[in-house]
Structure 1
Amino acid sequence: MAAASSNASRAGGTVTVICRMPAGLVLDLYDTAELAARARAATPVMAPPKPSTCVRLNGAKADPRYHARDNLLLGMGGRTQVDASFWQAWLAQNPNFLPLKNGLIFAQPDTDAAGAELAERGQHRTGLEGLEPTSLPGVTPFARDAA
């Protein structure tokens, strides 16, 4: 898996962003000039900054193969079509975002390439998968009383 694949985009088009987090993620893009003006203000601005654009990424539970009864998330990832210019601007504002650095979110120019990268990365645990109840150490199933 190449590091440059996370930055893949097509000028003026869309990219397919894969999010391996269970519930997804909201990506906010802020106006850098407004943030700089807030930082230079004589009195502190206590209100949170308002994003100029937001995109909600589908999470692993939105993967077509996910079944709620089994709750198996390994290898799953939500797919969202995102404007390529938004993705590039968001990457520039958030280069050290841990889910991005750890491969929990990544983008490819088309859905086939994104699916292939998900298949490659999908075998690695994210740490967000549920626990397997039958393999917990020190936990035994509840025994029913025979009456």
Structure 2
Amino acid sequence: MAGKVIVGCKLPHGIRAELDGQVVEFKGTNSSNIIGGHGITENVDKDFWDAWLAKNQGLAFVRNGFLFAETKAASTKAKAKEQEAEKTGFEPVDPEELPKGLEQLDGK
């Protein structure tokens, strides 16, 4: 038995991970357990995580560290806080500082 890992996910909607008929929901930033802007999913089977990661390591959100796993709560918290300022591209738009090419409607 390989044990358990704690998964951090910075995507707002989380991720539904499927592998060989098994499904695990990794909580995103819309969950109630947030550390450093990451949803935290505890007690994920390490064998499942390792196999899923091997098949999905090329995904941009995995490569960019927006989904990660650690074996200890302290390391999970440290990694999540270290990446807190990183942008996923899913952040809400600030209407006072619109990106180039966007403009606010008059409201009419």
One-letter amino acid of the structure 2 residue matched with residue 54 of structure 1: V
Task: Tell me the residue number matched to 1:5.
Answer: none
Structure 1 counterpart SS, 2:74 = helix
Q: Is the 8 A contact 1:17 1:114 kept in 2?
A: yes
Task: Tell me the residue number matched to 1:113.
Answer: 75
Task: Tell me the residue number matched to 1:16.
Answer: 6
The verdict on how the C-alpha distance between 1:20 and 1:63 changes in structure 2, with shifts beyond 3 A counting, is: farther
Distance 1:65 1:111 in 2: 13
Task: Tell me the residue number matched to 2:60.
Answer: 98
Bigger RCO of structures 1 and 2 (CA < 8 A, at least 6 apart): 1
Distance 2:34 2:62 in 1: 23
Task: Tell me the residue number matched to 2:40.
Answer: 79
Shift of 1:64: 3.9
Q: Over alpha carbons, which structure has the higher Rg?
A: 1
Distance 1:57 1:99 in 2: 13
Query: How high is the TM-score relative to the length of structure 2?
Result: 0.82
Shift of 1:141: 7.0
**Are positions 1:25 and 2:15 aligned together?**
yes
When the two chains are superposed, the root-mean-square deviation of aligned CA atoms in Å is 2.3
The verdict on how the C-alpha distance between 1:106 and 1:98 changes in structure 2, with shifts beyond 3 A counting, is: same
The verdict on how the C-alpha distance between 1:12 and 1:21 changes in structure 2, with shifts beyond 3 A counting, is: same
Q: Is the 8 A contact 1:77 1:118 kept in 2?
A: yes
Q: Which has the higher helix share?
A: 1
Cα deviations across residues 96-121 of structure 1 (Å, max 9, x unaligned)? 12211111100111121111001101
Distance 1:95 1:65 in 2: 23
Q: % of aligned pairs identical? A: 31
Q: Which has the higher strand share?
A: 2
Query: How high is the TM-score relative to the length of structure 1?
Result: 0.62
Where does structure 2 lack aligned partners over 5 or more consecutive residues? none
